[in-house]
Amino acid sequence: MNVRELEGSVVALVTPFDEHGDVDFGALERLVDFHLQNGTDGILVLGTTGESSTMSDDEDYAVAEAVIKQVAGRVPIIGGAGSNSTAESLRKSQGLVERGVDALLLITPYYNKSNDEGIYRHFTTVMDQVDAPVILYNIPGRTGCSISERNVERFATDPRVMGIKEASGNISYAAMVAQYLSDDFRMYSGNDDMVVPILSLGGSGVISVWADIEPRKVHDMVRSFLDGDLEGARKVQIESLELIHALFAEVNPIPVKAALARMGLIGEHYRQPLWPLSDGARDRLERAMRGAGLCE
């Protein structure tokens, strides 16, 4: 499919590591199969959930190449190429596009942040030099800055931008973005507990952590809404809140990797500064997974 028409559930894929801290490519292959078999509509590699911030360039590119090869064009692959350094974001973007990703996810510059025009130029500097559609990533809780309405309006008519991943948790901000949506500029929820509300504003789907462990359910929920079954989608969203909140009881991707390990899909290994779940968060996750029928 044309990546610019992407709708549905895009998984923010974890990067599995082995007990030595190396990328576990066998587990990565199992995860990709899991998603291809369960209706996932697109795969985001090397995002926040993928722990790319602790990975080398060689590892980033090896993961991207492995997923692209295995997927073999069956669903779009989006590559996370964000950085608080514009030059670094450009370099990563070029490397991922050369390896065949279908689109890029670019985050606002965190820590040093910049002003409104600087944020605009941060994105356009990359887009001027790469040939791939871009999804902008708005997540001020992690970055300390947001994409302003002025910049949303400018990007909404830029043919290089296919959409925005909206993860502010602010429904008023999402409603502002909604006025600029079109077939050429889409909004994807970046919050698993707000998928249906974002869809109700004209969103096209979700870039999801929850989908790592329940890909079929997330796909079906979004598809139900888009096909007109609003009540069915609303019911799934509400009934899944306990599990969704447990997946964010501690910083992502700690809980979701613990959940995948509990399901036997990966080993529970992280790179510092991430650390295994606390006992309280683990108990909460276990209860939620049992309630969802994901473990006994």
Q: How far apart are CA 60 and CA 53, in angstroms?
A: 10
Q: How far apart are CA 133 and CA 148, in angstroms?
A: 20
Q: Token match 């030595």: residue?
A: 20
Alpha helices, DSSP H, located in the chain: 25-37, 57-71, 86-99, 116-127, 140-143, 149-156, 171-178, 195-200, 215-226, 230-239, 241-246, 254-262, 279-291
Q: How far apart are CA 114 and CA 222, in angstroms?
A: 35
111 included as an active-site residue: no
Q: How far apart are CA 79 and CA 96, in angstroms?
A: 7
Q: How far apart are CA 94 and CA 26, in angstroms?
A: 27
- Phi and psi of 293, rounded to 5°? 75, 20
Catalytic residue among 61, 92, 165, 188: 165
92 included as an active-site residue: no
For residue 160, which of 120, 117, 200, 209 has the smallest C-alpha distance? 120
Q: In the beta sheet, which residues pair with residue 205?
A: 8, 188
Catalytic residue among 69, 92, 110, 137: 137
Q: Which residues are catalytic?
A: 137, 165
